[in-house]
Amino acid sequence: MDLLDNFKTIEVETPVDKIIRQIRGLIVSGYLNPGDKLPSERKLSEKLGVGRTYIRDAIKKLEFFGILTTHPQSGVVVNGTNISAMEGLFSNIMKIERPDFFSLVETRVSMELFSVRAAAERRTNEDLVNLEKALEAYEDKVKNNLPAENEDFLFHLKIAESSHNTVVKTMMLIILPDILAIYRKENVCGKDVMEGTSREHRVILDAIKEQDPEKASLVMSNHLQKVLEFSKRIL
C-alpha cells in the first residue's frame, strides 16, 4: 500500500457547519428546547461575526431536516424532536462527506427511480392526497413566477415517502439540501424550466395514480436526464 493511502484529506469547516454545530450544542445541552425561538438573523450575525447569508443558509438546512421551523410572525423556532433522533440527524448533517455534484445527482437518480417504482406499487390514498398538495404548491409558485426549488424537492420527497421505504427517504433528506444549494447558486431553475418541470411532475403523479411502475420509472428517468447531464458539467 502506498504511504499516501494512509493520509486523509483535511476538510475545513465552513461557517454554515460551525453555526449548525453551535445550534446542535445548545439543543443537546438543553439551552434550546422545543418551542424556543432563535435570536434574529441580525443578532446572530453580529454575535457570531459572520454574514447573514451564512446564518440564513444554516437555518434553511436545519429547516429542511425538520429541526427548525420559520414562522412568519414569530421567527425561527426549535421543533419538538426526540433528542436521540435529533443527534442522528445532526450526525448526518455534520459528518457526511462532501462528494462532487455529479456523484450526488447520480445517487439521487438511482434512489428516485427506485422510489417512484415503489410508490406506484405501494401508494395509499393518503399518499396521493399528499402528492397532489405538494404538486399544487409547486404549480402555484410557477404560476406566480416565484422560486420553487423547495417545492420541487418536497414533491420528490413525497414520492420517497409514498415508497414506504424509510431508508430511501432518509438518504434523500441527506443529499437533497446540498443539491438544492448548488441549484440556487447556478440558477438552474428558470421560468421555462419550471414550467416544463411542472408538466413532467404531473405525468409522474399520473403514473403513480395508475399504479404503473414501468411508466413511472420511465417518466422519472426522462425527467432527471437533463439534471444528470448538467451535473457532469459542474466541477
Whose grid coordinates read 424550466? Answer: 193
pLDDT in tens, the chain (235 residues): 566 666 656 566 788 888 888 888 788 767 888 889 999 999 999 999 999 999 998 888 888 777 888 888 889 998 865 554 555 555 555 555 555 778 888 999 999 999 999 999 999 999 999 999 999 999 998 888 887 877 888 899 899 999 999 888 888 877 777 777 777 666 665 666 677 888 999 999 999 999 999 999 999 999 999 888 888 876 5
Query: What long-range pairs does 59-62 form, CB within 8 A, spacing at least 24?
Result: 60/177, 61/16, 61/20, 61/93, 61/177, 62/20, 62/23, 62/93
User: Three cell numbers at 3?
Assistant: 504511504
pTM value? 0.62
Contact 121, 129 (CB under 8 A): no
CA distance 156 to 134: 9
Instruction: Report which secondary-structure segment, H or E, holds 78.
Output: strand 75-78
* pLDDT at position 155: 93
Residue-wise burial string across 110-124, b where 16 or more C-beta atoms lie within 10 A, e elsewhere: ebbbbbbbbbbeebe
* Cα 170–Cα 41–Cα 89 angle in degrees, nearest 5: 15
67 grid coordinates:
429541526
Cell of 149: 426549488
| Tally of CB atoms within 10 A around 68 | 21
Q: How far is CA 214 from CA 28, 113, 115, 219, in A?
A: 45, 10, 12, 9
How far apart are the two ends of the chain, measured CA to CA in Å?
29
98-231: CATH topology: Four Helix Bundle (Hemerythrin (Met), subunit A) (1.20.120)
* 15-93: CATH number: 1.10.10.10
How far apart CA 208 and CA 128 sit, in angstroms, is: 8
For position 191, what pLDDT does the model report? 60
Which residue type occupies 72?
Answer: P
Q: Where in the chain is the domain with CATH 1.10.10.10?
A: 15-93
